[in-house]
Amino acid sequence: MQILILGGTRFVGRHLVEAALARGHEVTLFNRGESNPGLFPGVKELHGDRDGDLAALEEALAIEGWDAVIDTCGYVPRVVRASAALLADEVPHYTFISTLSVYGDFATEGLDESSPVATMADETVEEITHETYGSLKVLCERVVEAAYPEGALIIRPGLIVGPHDPTDRFTYWPVRVAEGGEVLAPGTGEVPVQFIDVRDLAAWTIRLIERGTTGVYNATGPAGRLSLRAFLEAARRSSGSDATFVWVDEAFLLEAGAEPWMEIPLWIPGEEAAGLGTVNVDRAMEAGLTFRPLAETMEDTRAWAEERPGTHEWRAGLRREREEALLAAWAAEKKEEND
């Protein structure tokens, strides 16, 4: 197949390129040429800005015979509409990488593809914030489905993890646990967590495209329920470290100003934790989604992280001084309670 990828040089996009090439497909990239230029020698690249400069894409469309397009970087419906409208008459299949954040209520366990999605009071808003991200993705999905009534594949991934993840939201844990010592862990550890290895997501997406699959699919893992405690214990086993976990009360952490999800990755306090950790992926698994062993994801992510320069600025996770301060304050509070 000849596959056009919008983006293709950062995290999810680069793994999609690798998966497509591994399956023998011919790939063309369309992007601004700013992130990781020259990452894929021999792969054709078209440069432009999908927000107002599709000239290179339009010119190539007249001579290329792409079988499918993958949109890895659509966040604003107006911008997605431009690419979908341009390609609809010539490229029969459009895959849109969306997000589980489209769902409107994470207080509910077992969300599936039919669950209600988020809405926007003002659909002209284009500013991407924590509050608008999911609802903007909903509107983008609708744009793609309107342009491709019979050829749209919508993938809704959860937290995407693995090598080259720029967010550090997953990477923090296998690296921190491998360092050993007392590790601050939030809550009781019984809340469920979900995520998907980017390589599993990419390989599965390419297989779906090969079959011409359409429709909407949640895409996260693992196959069964995984608690935060089991996740951290798996990180300890995979690294062979001497880490001991200190489970700190959520109310204490919130009062101390600890930031869920980013400062303490995978931690979502309150009733949303259950919904975010139990999304139903039966439909995706029936369509062939599989998951590599958790230990493999952890070990490969840690190995990649260790290759980064020592000057790398972590975008998520507790800084060691902050962790030590919180642990000391927690120990003092427990001591006072017991005195």
Q: With respect to residue 34, please indicate whether it lies within any of the assigned structural domains.
A: yes
Q: Which pLDDT does position 69 carry in this prediction?
A: 98
Matching residue, tokens 């209600």? 116
Separation CA 303–CA 291 (nearest Å)? 19
Provide the whole-model pTM.
0.96
Residues near 25 by beta carbon (within 8 Å), at least 6 away in sequence = 1, 2, 3, 206
Given pLDDT bands bounded at 50, 70 and 90, which one contains residue 331? very high
Q: With respect to residue 134, please indicate whether it lies within any of the assigned structural domains.
A: yes
Question: Could you count the other beta carbons within 10 Å of the beta carbon of residue 212?
Answer: 13
- Tell me the per-residue pLDDT of 61-91, one tens digit each, with 9 for 90 and over: 989 899 999 999 999 999 999 999 999 999 9
Q: With respect to residue 167, please indicate whether it lies within any of the assigned structural domains.
A: no
Q: Which of 103, 133, 157 is the C-terminal boundary of a domain? A: 157
Q: With respect to residue 217, please indicate whether it lies within any of the assigned structural domains.
A: no
Q: Which pLDDT does position 297 carry in this prediction?
A: 98
Do 142 and 183 share a domain, yes or no? no
Mean pLDDT of the chain: 96
Do 254 and 130 share a domain, yes or no? no
Q: With respect to residue 207, please indicate whether it lies within any of the assigned structural domains.
A: no
Q: With respect to residue 283, please indicate whether it lies within any of the assigned structural domains.
A: no
Q: Which pLDDT does position 164 carry in this prediction?
A: 97
Given pLDDT bands bounded at 50, 70 and 90, which one contains residue 48? very high
Q: Which pLDDT does position 213 carry in this prediction?
A: 98
Do 45 and 74 share a domain, yes or no? yes
Do 185 and 152 share a domain, yes or no? no
Do 117 and 180 share a domain, yes or no? no
Domain housing 242: 172-193+224-277+293-334
Separation CA 280–CA 216 (nearest Å)? 12
Do 187 and 320 share a domain, yes or no? yes
Q: Which pLDDT does position 337 carry in this prediction?
A: 82
pLDDT (mean) for 240-248: 97
Do 46 and 127 share a domain, yes or no? yes
Q: With respect to residue 209, please indicate whether it lies within any of the assigned structural domains.
A: no
Do 152 and 238 share a domain, yes or no? no
pLDDT (mean) for 158-164: 97
CATH number at residue 137: 3.40.50.720
- Tell me the per-residue pLDDT of 249-295, one tens digit each, with 9 for 90 and over: 999 999 999 999 999 999 999 888 889 999 999 999 999 999 999 99
Do 115 and 182 share a domain, yes or no? no
Q: Which pLDDT does position 62 carry in this prediction?
A: 87
Using CB atoms within 10 A of its CB, is residue 120 exposed (0-12), middle (13-18) or buried (19+)? middle
Q: Which of 134, 157, 180 is the C-terminal boundary of a domain? A: 157
Do 123 and 176 share a domain, yes or no? no
pLDDT (mean) for 193-199: 98
| In 16-163, beta strands by DSSP E | 26-31, 44-47, 68-71, 94-97, 152-157, 160-161
Q: Which of 132, 157, 182 is the C-terminal boundary of a domain? A: 157
CATH number at residue 180: 3.90.25.10
Q: Which pLDDT does position 336 carry in this prediction?
A: 82
The DSSP string of 235-249 is HHHHHT---EEEEE-
Do 184 and 327 share a domain, yes or no? yes
Provide the number of structural domains found in the chain: 2
Do 48 and 111 share a domain, yes or no? yes
pLDDT at 339 over 80: no
Radius of gyration of the chain, Cα coordinates, nearest whole angstrom: 21
Which value, to the nearest 10 degrees, does the dihedral of the CA atoms of residues 134, 15, 222, 204 take? 90
Q: Which pLDDT does position 274 carry in this prediction?
A: 85
pLDDT (mean) for 305-334: 95
Q: With respect to residue 208, please indicate whether it lies within any of the assigned structural domains.
A: no
